[in-house]
Each structure stands twice: as C-alpha cells, then as structure tokens.
Amino acid sequence: MAADTALAAPIADRRPRARRATVGLAVFLAAVSVASLAIGASGTSLWGALSTLATGGELSQMERVVLWDIRLPRLALGILVGAALAVSGAVMQGLFRNPLADPGLVGVSAGAGLGAITAIVLGGLLPAAMVASVGNWSVPVAAFLGGWASVILLYRVSTRRGRTSVATMLLAGIALGALAGAVSGILVYMADDRQLRDLTFWGLGSLAGANWAKVWVAGPMILAAVGASLLLGRGLNGLAMGEATAHHLGIDVQRLKNGAILTVAAATGAAVAVSGGIGFVGIVVPHLLRLATGPDHTHLLLNCALLGAALLLLADVIARVIIAPAELPIGIVTAVLGAPVFLWILLRRRGMVDL
Amino acid sequence: MIAARGIRVRLGRKEVLHGVDFAARPGEVTAIVGPNGSGKTTLMRALTGEVDYEGTVEIGGQDIRAAKGWELAARRAVLPQATTLAFPFTVVEVVRMGLMTGAHGDDATLPSRALAEVGLAGYEGRFFQELSGGEQSRAHLARVLVQVWQPVDEGGPRWLLLDEPVSSLDIAHQLEVMEIVADYARRGGGVVAVMHDLNLTALHADRIAVMQAGRLRAFGPPAEVMTDAILSDVYGCRLRVSAAPEGPAPFVLPHCAAPG
C-alpha cells in the first residue's frame, strides 16, 4: 500500500507555507531588482547616483541615460515578461490538466514568432516613409497580432456548440505551430544577412532592446492578464478533477476556458512581442512552486508571477555579466538553467505521483 | 423533488434513452438499477445536466437548464463513476474543493469531519493519488458531502446524486457508505444512486428504478419491483428473489440450473 513510500508521510496544510512563500518571493524579487539596477556593463554606480540624489546633487548625463533610459525600462520589462511567461504556463497547465503544457504548445508562441519574422523580413519591402511612421513598433505589434490570430483560429477550430475540446485544441496547436514554423522558414530563407542577425537575436529571446516604449506596449496587457488570472484559481482547481466535476461544483466551465485562453493570449503575445522566444520559464516556474507549496491555484498563480519575474531578472543579470561587455541572449541562459532543472524534475518524480 | 419528464438522450447517432419519466422524493433513497448499457449512467448524466437531452429535468421545481451553475451546486452534489485528478493535491485539498460553493460559509472543520464520516480520519495530508481506488472513492464522497453538508437548508432539501458509489468498495465499506447515504435521506435530504448490487439496493433503497434498454421497465418499492419475473427478464438470466431470513428486504440469488 501507499503508506510504505516516502511521499506518503502526511504533510501539513500547505496554505500557510504558500503565504510565507509569497512574502519571501516578494523580498527576493525586490533584491534581484536592486541587483538588476546596480549591475551593468557601463560601470555606472547605482549607489553613487543615489547618494548624489540624496545630497541634492544633479545626476550626470551618463548616469541619467544608463539608469533611467537603459536599466530601469529593462528592469520593468524583465518583471513584466517573467510574470507573463510563468503565469501563462501555469494557466495553460491548469486548463489542459497537463503539467507539461506550455503556451508554446497551443501555437501562441509560434504565431507570435511568425508575426515578428514577417515584420523583420517583409518590413524592408514597405515604402520607407511607412516604415518610419511605424518605427520600432512594427515587430512587437506584428508578433502580438500573430499570437492573437493563432489563438483565435485555434479556438474556432476546437470549439463546437460552445464547448472547447482540450484534446482537439492540443492537436490543432501542434499543427498550427508546424505551419507557422514552415512559413517562418520560408521567410528566413528570403532574409538578407542583416535581417538574419535580427531574426537569430529575436528567436533566442532578449531583454537587450528594452526601452520605455516597449514597457508601454506590453505593460497594460500583461498587468491586465496577470490580474485576471488571479480570478481563475478556484476554477482551475476544480478543473483538475475534470470538466464534469468542475461543472458539478458550480464552476462555469466554458467561461473559465474563455478566461484562461484570453489571459494566455494576452500575456504570451505581449511577452513574445517585446522579448522574443524566452523558453522554460513557463514550465519550470510552476513546477518548482508546485513542488514547494502544492498545486492549489489560488496561491500558485500569484507566486508564479513573483518567482517568474525574479528568475527572469536573475537570468538577465547573468546574461549581462557573464561575457561582459558583450551579453548573451537571455533565452540561452534560461534554457541552460531551465532545461536541466526540468529534466531533474522529471527524473525525480519518475514512478511516483503524477507531476 | 427531482422530476425528469420525457428524457431522450442521443449519443452519436444512437438514441440511448427513449423518453424516460423519473422522479425522486426527498427523505428517500432512490436507486437506479439495470444491466450494463441499459442507460443508468446516461439517465444520471441527464439529471446532472452533463449530457444534452430532450425533455425536462427539475430540481425543487426549477428547470436545471435555466439554473446557474452555482445555484445547482448549492442544491445538489454529484459523485461521478470515474474521476481524474491532474496535479498532486492532498486528500484535504480535494475535499476542500467541495467548499467552493460557499453556501455554508467557510467552516474550516468540515473537510476533516467529512473525512472522519467516510472512515478516512487522519488522511488529510496524504497525496490523493497514492490512495487505493476504494479510498479515493470515499475521499470523493467526503468532498460531495462537504458540498451539501446540511441535508435541508432554507432553499429546501438538498440532493446527493451518486453514480455507483460503492462499486469499488469492500463489503464493510459498502455497508458503511450506504448507511451514510441512508442517514442523509432520513435527515430530510434526497439521494439518487446508480447501483449494481441488487441485494445492497434492496437493503437500503426506498424506491428502485429498473432500467432496460433505454426505458424505465419498473419503478417502485423493492418488494414491488424485485420479482423473479421482472429481474429475470431485465437481466436476461434466471434469478430467484427470496425473503431475507431477518427483516423485510428481499434478496436475489442467481439460478444457474436449467429452466423449470
């Protein structure tokens, strides 16, 4: 019987631990934020600037540019993107009742990627005046539209008479992802050398291009999506027992699915639009938290937002300092750190309870 | 009162219920029996609103199609035949999900009391997926009990809709669960249960609906519907109903000998 296995030892109520984790993660996020502001290639000192301000002095031009125009928007973008990716992952996993589900699975990332690649490659064909008027917004906007379009298409395919089939949606997501990947491949083939470098950089994911414009593009969408996701907790808990049981518990299952899909589309679309394809945050962060404090979504989603933001900022700091003064694309850092953690989780849990 | 009228259900191209009229009264255990494929579970799924059906289902005079999900959840709890659980929740976390309707405030002691009731006291912190099949079934029963803990509230009687609640249990726990269910009815609540074991049904049900090929073949108290003729015909084998040595409940024995 199960009583013989190590995991069968009774565990205490996990809710107080989850609340302590929320506090701890908020502190962790604050600490990493300070590090993100203080560390950088230019050698500008956050402490120097702060003491200048504290004594009523004026910041130098250099300090203002580095802190205000480079590091601060990068910090804000890192928090937004990290929270968006982790929460999207947790919501998708709850919706699909599968701990390996990820926004990448349902074609949101692939659709967003296709949009971005289209903008990079075909943007050169547009009249110069038109390109100038859209400016550097064309890639994020196109990525966002691509992500949305793929979700809406997917949703239409998998919804019959008001009911969304999760199995159909997963399979259709794989097909759409493959199609978007093929079209992207054609566009990459057409790209010139300079565009290829842009594409590579974008495809690996990076916060290097952070500026306030990107924060304003992604911020409202991500904040709204993460905030809305916090209302899905109880519903996703019920959904873990299947749609019928969730319905019996009084959950409006169709509304829950709609909310989850919109949340993921908004958060992932906006995140991919401003930072490219940053992998593993959406899978690793919810897993770590489920191991530590259990799968209860009423606290999991908020903690995912905090841990996702903190870990992405940490990865960004590593990406900036490890080969300074150059920097690595952050997607490489999250993959190098995330993939082994992911494998470790799989090995550790193999043969025990389901992830 | 749960009242279903003219229930027709189509699964794919096949009609599996051909116009069933069914009613259950509060204060009683109403059992649904019948051979495999006779439409027991489909009838239950129509009562819970899980399948599309023609006809009407009313709980306490309210058409369930017109009711909001949370309104129904406050009136009736449903124990499905088979369940899944996606993530490693503990037993108490599963049982606590029954509290989601909020109809009884947040009585923090309720999950533990319900677990004790189904014989799982002390199981709160165990991982649900590590329980045996029978223990999982009883833990789900605790979740269902938590959802409609008071058999009667200001909205009237409340209901337990149970699809084969004892099929995976040993005989002691079968009797224990049936006693819990019967007690719920004695205290004014209503119980509808799909059952396989005819003797257990005869012992605990006040009324029995016998399904045959998508139709209601017989509906009444055990002594009325549990006859040699009805059961032998419905199940397609020779069955002999006798009186139990003690008490009034009939019991059924299979008769394998040649007809005569």
- CATH code (residue A28): 1.10.3470.10
C-alpha dihedral, B226 to B232 to B233 to B237, nearest 10°: 150
Q: How many domains does chain A have?
A: 1
ipTM for the predicted complex: 0.90
d(CA A212, CA A275): 13
Instruction: Give chain B positions within 8 Å (CB) of A13.
Output: 92, 124-125
Amino acid code (one letter) for A144:
F
d(CA A50, CA A334): 31
d(CA B115, CA B140): 9
* A9 Cβ contact partners less than 8 Å away, ≥ 6 residues apart: none
Q: Answer yes or no: do A11 and B125 touch at CB < 8 A.
A: yes
Note the maximum CA span of chain B. Answer: 62
Minimum distance, in Å, between the CA of residue B226 and any CA atom of chain A = 32
Instruction: Give chain A positions within 8 Å (CB) of B124.
Output: 10, 13
* B213 Cβ contact partners less than 8 Å away, ≥ 6 residues apart: B38, B39
Q: Answer yes or no: do A97 and B132 touch at CB < 8 A.
A: no
Residue B7 is predicted with a pLDDT of 96
Tell me if the bond preceding A127 is cis, omega within 30° of 0: no
d(CA A247, CA A253): 6
Residue B198 is predicted with a pLDDT of 92
Q: pTM here?
A: 0.87
Segments of chain A scoring below 50 in pLDDT: 1-8, 352-355
Three-state DSSP class for residue B53 = coil
Interfacial residues of A (vs B; Cβ cutoff 8 Å): 1-2, 5, 7-8, 10-14, 94, 97-99, 234, 237-242, 244-245, 247-252, 290, 294-296, 353-355
Interface list for B 35-74 with A (CB within 8 A): 48-50, 69-74
**Is residue B78 less than 8 Å (CB to CB) from chain A?**
yes
d(CA B82, CA B165): 10
Q: A148 burial class (0-12, 13-18, 19+ CB within 10 angstroms)?
A: buried
Minimum distance, in Å, between the CA of residue B119 and any CA atom of chain A = 16
CATH topology of domain B2-233: Rossmann fold (3.40.50)
Residue A127 is predicted with a pLDDT of 61
**Is residue B170 less than 8 Å (CB to CB) from chain A?**
no
Question: Which residue in A has a C-alpha nearest to residue B76's C-alpha?
Answer: A248
Taking Cα atoms as reference points, which of A69, A38, A46 lies closest to residue A212?
A69
d(CA B180, CA A63): 73
Q: Answer yes or no: do B88 and A354 touch at CB < 8 A.
A: yes
Three-state DSSP class for residue B252 = strand
| Residue A123, domain extent | 13-349
Cβ–Cβ contacts within 10 Å for residue B251, how many?
18
Q: Answer yes or no: do A13 and B92 touch at CB < 8 A.
A: yes
The CA angle A222-A228-A231, to the nearest 5 degrees, is 150
pLDDT tens for each residue of chain B, 260 residues long: 999 999 999 988 899 999 999 999 999 999 999 999 999 999 999 999 989 999 999 999 999 999 998 899 999 999 998 888 889 999 999 999 998 655 555 678 899 999 999 999 999 999 999 999 999 999 999 999 999 999 998 889 999 999 999 988 999 999 999 999 999 999 999 999 999 999 999 999 999 999 999 999 999 999 899 998 999 999 988 888 887 777 777 878 776 544 54
Note the maximum CA span of chain A. Answer: 73
Residue A120 is predicted with a pLDDT of 78
